[in-house]
Structure formats: C-alpha cells, structure tokens
Chains A and B, each alone.
Chain A
Amino acid sequence: MTRLVARGTYVPRHRLDRASVGIGHGTRSVASYDEDTTSMGVAAARRALQGATPRVPGSVIFSTSTPAYTDRTNATAIAEALGLRTHVGAYDFNGSVRSAVGGFHAAADAAAAGRTAMLVAADIRTGLPGSSEERDGGDGAAALVFAPDGPCLAEVIATSAVSTEFLDRWRPPGAPVSHVWEERFGESVYVPLAAEALGQALVSAGLEPGDVHHLIVAGLHRRAVAGMGKAAGVRSGVLVDDRSDAIGVAGAAHAFLMLCDVLERAVPTENIVVLVLADGADCVVLRAGELAGAPLPGPTVADAVCGPPVGHHDMLVWRGLLRREPPRRPDPDRPAAPPSHRGAAWKFGFTGTRCVECGTRHLPPQRVCHRCRAVDRMQSEGLAGLTGTVSTFTVDHLAFSVAPPVVVVVVDLDGGGRLQCELTDADHRDVRVGDRVELTFRRLYTTTDGVHDYFWKVRPLLDEESA
C-alpha cells in the first residue's frame, strides 16, 4: 500500500492585489526576485522533512512547468539543499502542469514497491501585464513523501487517468508567458474528460460521489475547473476552496498544495479526491490516515493567504518582463563549477563545522579553528534549520541587485557561529539590530550566460512560537 507520510508547503510572502492593476478582485502570490521553482521546492521539501524522525527519501522527484534549468536536472540542487547527498535518485518531471501528476505516480509507485520517495512540485505562473494568466496564476510549492509503511497522513486507494490531444495552452521553450486557445472550447473538452476520470477512480475505490469528503479540482483552465466542480455531484461543502482568491493557481504545484491544505484539517478515514485538469484528466482517491489533521511546524496554507503587497511594476521587474536601470557596477561573476562542487555541502546544504577541541562553530567550514587554532579537528554540522539574531546591518544602494537596495546583515546564529549575508522578504526601512531571522535557500543572481547562483539568505522570523 502506498502511504503519504509527510507533507510540506511553501507560498512566497508577497501578494499582488488584483484590483490595484484592474484585473479582478482578491490577491495572488508572487515569488520574490530571488526565488525560482527550485528554491521554492527546497522550502516546501524542508518542511516535509522536518520533525524528530523524518522519513529520508530514496528519490527526489521534482516537477514544474517553469524549470530554472533545462538540459540539467533541477532535483539535484533540491536534494543537495536537503542534505541528501548520497544514495538518492534525483529526477525532474518538467515542462507541463501535468508532469507533476506523473511525478506523483512515480513517487507513489516507488513506495508501493517498498521505497520511500518524495515529490516536490513548484511553479511560478506569469502572464503578460493585464492578462488573465497574470491574474489567475500563482506561485508556490508542495512536497509529499511516500513510504510503504508507518503512520500516515493518507493512503492512496485508487487512481485514474484519461488523455486526449487538443490545443488549449502552450508555450514555446524559453518563452516567458503562455498562449491559450479560446476558453469555451477547452471547457467543452475538459469537463467530460474530468467527469470520466472521476467516475473511473470512484468505481475503482468502491465509492459513490456522496462518499467523498473533500474534492479538490485543480487546473489552469479556470472555466473548466469551475464547471467540473459543479458537475461532480458531490455533497454541499465537499468541493474544496482552491485558495485562488488569495494565492492564485500555482500551476504544477497547485493540486498538491491543496491536498496539503486539506490534510491540515481532514479527519482520519475521510475520503479525499484530487482531480487535475491538464491535457486530459487525472484523479487520485486517498483515505485520510492517523496523522491527518495534526499540526505541523511552520505556516499552514491557510496562514499563507495574506502577505505584504508587491507593486505591479516590481513584480514585472522580478519576472524579467520589465528592465530597470542597473547600478553602474559590473555584473556578478558566474559561480565556478569546481569550487561550487567542492563546497556543495556548504553552498547548497548550509553545512558548517564545529571544532571538537573548543566547540567553536564555523561557517563556512574551516580547517583551522579561529578560536583555538586547532587544525583539522572539525565535525560537520547541518545548520540550515537554525535561527539567529541580527547583530549589525546595512542597506546598500550601490550593490547589484534585481531589487535594490540590498540589505546586508551580520547574523549571530543561536548556539554560535556568525554569517554575513543578505536579508530578504523584508522592508529595508524596518530592519533593526536584534531582529530575529531564519535561513532560506535562494537564488542570489543569474549570470548573463544563465548560471543561477544558489545560496542561503535570512529572512525575518515572523512567528517565533511556530518556528
């Protein structure tokens, strides 16, 4: 049996107020200038692996319609950032929203075959200014860990899939935004396909529509999703609020973001159905397990419905749709492959060292202790989960950044060790000595030849109690 044993979600902090740009009501989530699908995937996956006895996956499957890289695997950076260096398979299921359902099956099937596996789905949905794509899209990530045994959030009890070739949405490789066909045509294809997939899955699970406790319908075609929700025949109140009024629809990640949302409040033995409309329809029926409804550390999806506003202009700059005059400074150098590989445990995994002679913590890892000068007496120590305090800071109006000014902080970590790094997800006018911060994996910059420089920053710790 395939068991969903852990979950994690990530919704970026910023929100675009749709009314502020005259494209409807409510808000959508907006990934910051230093986030991409890989970094958001890391954030969701870290939450899924939190806890006293995390289930360590034997494979990491990453899925997005907007990968940071093509040709090379993005899941390797995620696995490295999670500290899963060896004996882990890392695979991308990328390119379309539906890829994530394939990733779900791959991870679930691995568990059915006796191996623990994780699906990480993330997306950044962008449209031309003023478009429905821009309005309806959202940014976010979800991670699901599957295992063959143990206490679980839910068991997968049935699946179904139907496929057909039709032109609804497309994007040439490398293009920043999608094109969509006239929406009534898509609705006419999607709704019957989805109804068929739902019917098949319920039959296979031995359920009637009236037995469903939570129905998630997800897809980028808003009209088809709404139509299917009405046509599903489930009881009143069973159709799940897909948070599109607050977050938007986060592409490949959305169905699983909603599944995590439901698992935050589901009661054991309830039937949960996930129906994804993407180039066909996929349906998964799950039964809530003993861990369903149990609180997790960190913000829930429900907590994530609010966030600080981002201006439309800033959002367009962050997405590369608008170019802002850069400072009169050279472009950043590209991170070199050999030192990045030598120091991968530090660069991606935020692993420092501790001197076994005097206990002093070092980041980055050092061979000679700066306190007692002992040589090669260090132990590795994963530090990504730590919090810290700002001891001094500055706001740099000169440094290169997509979103100036750069806020540089000196952070003293709880339990020792100091780091000079960037503060993100913060208003530079609000920074003070003594502020509490947490670590976050980010894309520092992208070079002109397309190399992403990933490393860690800190961001304000919003709720000390829940972290």
Chain B
Amino acid sequence: MSLFASGNQTVGPYLHIGLDWLTTRDIAGKRIKGERVAIAGRLLDGNGNGVNDGLIEVWQANAAGKYAHPEDPQKKPIEKGWRGFGRVPTDARGGFRFTTIKPGRVPGPGESLQAPHLVVAVFMRGMLKHLATRIYFPDEAAANAEDPILKLVPAARRGTLIPKKEGKTLEWDIVLQGKNETVFFDY
C-alpha cells in the first residue's frame, strides 16, 4: 500500500492558542549533565522586521551524543527525564531565547561523525510548510570543519548556522531573506 503524505499548511497567526501549552525554553532542566548554553536571537522577515507570530522547535541529543528515541542504537548513557525537545514562541519583536546543554557528537553518514548541533524547525504565519535548519557551536571549529552536513553548505553561508558568542549568550538570528539569509535544509 502506498499513499502520499498529507499537505502541510501554515500555522497561521493564532498558532499560540494551540501550541503554547508545550512551550519549553529550558530544554535540559537542572539535573541533566552537560555544558549549559543560552541561545537567543530574532526571527526576521524579508523587510528585516521581527516575526512576532512565529515559533521554533529544537531537537537534540544529550551531552553524550544520544537521542531519547528508540531508533538511536548507540550504547551511550541517557538520563531519566531527558527528552531533548524545545518549543519557543517568538515575542513581540520576533525574539526568542532558550537554554539547554551542548549536545555530544552523533554519527553522520558512513563512518563520519557530526559536529555538535541542534536541529531546528521554524513555523510562522505566511509560511506554508515549516523550514528546517541547524545550530552549530562557535567553539567547535575543528568538529565543524569536518561536519558532513556543513560541508554541503556553500562556505560563504556556513556562518549563518553558527551563533556568535556575546558574553554568556550565543546569539543566532534566523534571517528569512536577503544578504545573510539563513541556510535552510530540504530533507
């Protein structure tokens, strides 16, 4: 039996009514092991204006590089209570902020190893299907240089996936259009 998937549709302007109950801005909580990171930025439209009716979702491995999912076959430790999911609505300025732990490295295609990264889904009014992107880490230059996914991104655009460290915060904007347009993936 073969079907085709249902069509995606925009979340529309009133997404918060249905989705805010699962808002998770602190992905790791206090008891999970790992290096704490805070990631903040703005979701910006083609006019450079903040998108105030948007939402991002984050999916990540724990500090050992293990996903809380039955299809992760790795023999690595995973803490009770670790889910690895964040949901962060944008504010009136299109801003978002969340805290988590830096994930460990997970396997990539073949024998490769991926650099620590978060996968991110972006939802908003005016977008008919969510966009997928990734967040890498600025203090992982060596791992980033050999990351099998970053290698597929034109070198000039790789920086859009790597936040800048400003004090204790990693600053990362999602830019939908223009000169610094964020790299989005189509799987």
- Is chain B found bound to chain A in the same assembly? no
Task: Please list the residues of chain A having a beta carbon within 8 angstroms of any beta carbon in chain B.
Answer: none
Show the binding face of B for A, using Cβ within 8 Å: none
